[in-house]
Amino acid sequence: MSLESELIAWLKGNLPQAHQFEVGLGDDAAVLELDGRAVVTTDMLTDGVDFLLEEVEPQLIGHKALGVNLSDLAAMAAEPIAAFVSLALPRAGTENLSPLELAIELYQGMLPLAELHGVTIAGGDTNTWDGSLAISITAIGETTSRGPLRRSGARAGDKVLVTGHLGGSILGRHLQVEPRIREALQLHEQYKLHAGIDISDGLALDASRLATASDCGIVLEMESIPISGAAYDLSNTTGKTPLEHALGDGEDFELLLAVPPEEAKNLIAAQPIDVSITCIGEFIDSSGLWKEEIDGSLSPLTPTGYQHEADR
């Protein structure tokens, strides 16, 4: 039996069936019945850039590959439906795993996350080659009755809210992605959100993207930014401050939201989701990214952040 048929056989025994799929693995394409509009995102992870296959458990790599895609659906406040997984596997496998075993490990990392968020792995493509491991996932969700949460809806006066704590993800959280799907859906349902993005490339850079897409500027209050323990740990060895890590490190996968002021006040008071949510600034009329120090002074903030390898 071929590697792809063996993997499909394994998947059929290990995947929960979702009613949405009339035609699943084994036809030319999958057919999805969607209630809302389709929300589609795709992210490719490659060895040496997004993970080191030699150093990391393949299950963590699989988890991350699905997690970053789900995080993009969370940023749109879309309900996840399906994921499509394409693998380019090194022909020789790894030191300990054949290509098939490697593929199964990757899927075993995806499945718990898929189940947690009601995602069906509905198709994919499995290849071996002389190259290194590359994983491309396309995730499909559907909009809720409130529609998609865009980057472009922020208005001057809106508050900047962020979930969780930021910085230092390289110490582990960049692999252990927890996509804020349920949080995004709950907030989008209960509150009036104007715009949103997930922090994948660093708070400063993604804040600046959110502002630009909304034709606004944005002011971040330095003393309000929730800094993760990992950012403190990391600052011991990097010579950067914990705040610099919180502003510039990538792969936090937290939500950054634009919320009208009254609504933001209620939301912050209620703390309605399992993870903390903090107000860290405000959108303003004049463009650009600004930092506000504790004394109230404003100065330009450089939108540094994780630039993808492709960007350099």
Residue with tokens 């950012």: 231
- Residue 125 makes contact with its own copies by CB under 8 A: yes
Among positions 11, 15, 47, 119, the unique one binding its own copies when judged by CB under 8 A? 47
Binding of residue 128 to its own copies (CB under 8 A) = yes
- 91 or 265: CB nearest its own copies: 91
Q: Which stretch binds its own copies (CB under 8 A): 131-139, 162-170, 230-238, 261-269?
A: 131-139
**Closest to 259 (Cα-Cα) out of 249, 244, 251, 270:** 270
The one among 9, 14, 37, 265 contacting its own copies by CB under 8 A: 37
Residues 25, 44, 56, 275: which binds its own copies (CB under 8 A)? 44
Residues 89-118 that bind its own copies (CB under 8 A): 89, 91, 99
**According to CB under 8 A, which one of 46, 108, 238, 304 is a site residue for its own copies?**
46
- Taking the complex as a whole, the smallest distance from the CB of residue 83 to its own copies amounts, in Å, to 10
Kindly report the length of the chain.
312
CB atoms within 10 A of CB 97: 18
Residues with Cβ within 8 Å of 75's Cβ and at least 6 positions away in sequence, in order, are: 149, 184, 196, 197, 198, 255
The Cα 19–Cα 66 span in angstroms is 21
Binder of its own copies out of 58, 62, 124, 303 (CB under 8 A):
124
Distance (Å, rounded) from C-alpha 197 to C-alpha 134? 25
Q: Which of 58, 123, 226, 250 binds its own copies (CB under 8 A)?
A: 123
For residue 93, the tally of other CB atoms under 10 A from its CB is 16
> Which two three-digit tokens encode residue 224?
């309000």
Residue 252 counted as an annotated binding residue: no
Q: Which stretch binds its own copies (CB under 8 A): 27-35, 104-112, 158-166, 239-247?
A: 27-35
Distance separating alpha carbons of residues 234 and 171, to the nearest angstrom = 8
Angle at 207 between CA 204 and CA 211, to 5 degrees: 135
Q: Is 84 in the site for its own copies (CB under 8 A)?
A: yes
**52 Cβ contact partners less than 8 Å away, ≥ 6 residues apart:** none
Nearer to its own copies, 9 or 38 (CB): 38
198 is in an annotated binding site: yes
**Residue type at 14?**
N
Residues 134-193 within binding reach of its own copies (CB under 8 A): 134, 136, 138, 140-141, 143, 148, 150-152
Looking at beta carbons only, is 36 or 288 nearer to its own copies? 36
Name the amino acid, one letter, at 74. A
Does residue 215 interact with its own copies by CB under 8 A?
Answer: no
CA dist 153 and 194 (Å) reads: 5
87, 127 contact by CB (below 8 A): yes
Name which of 195 and 231 has its Cβ closer to its own copies: 195
49 to 68: interface string for its own copies, x by CB under 8 A: x-------------------
State both tokens at 277: 């949510």
Residues 249-308 that bind its own copies (CB under 8 A): 307-308
> Any idea of the CA torsion for 100, 96, 70, 306, to the nearest 10 degrees?
-130
The yes or no reply on residue 8 touching its own copies (CB under 8 A) is no
**Binding-site residues for ATP:** 107, 124-125, 151, 200
**Binding-site residues:** 28, 41-43, 50, 72, 107, 124-125, 151, 198, 200-201, 251, 306
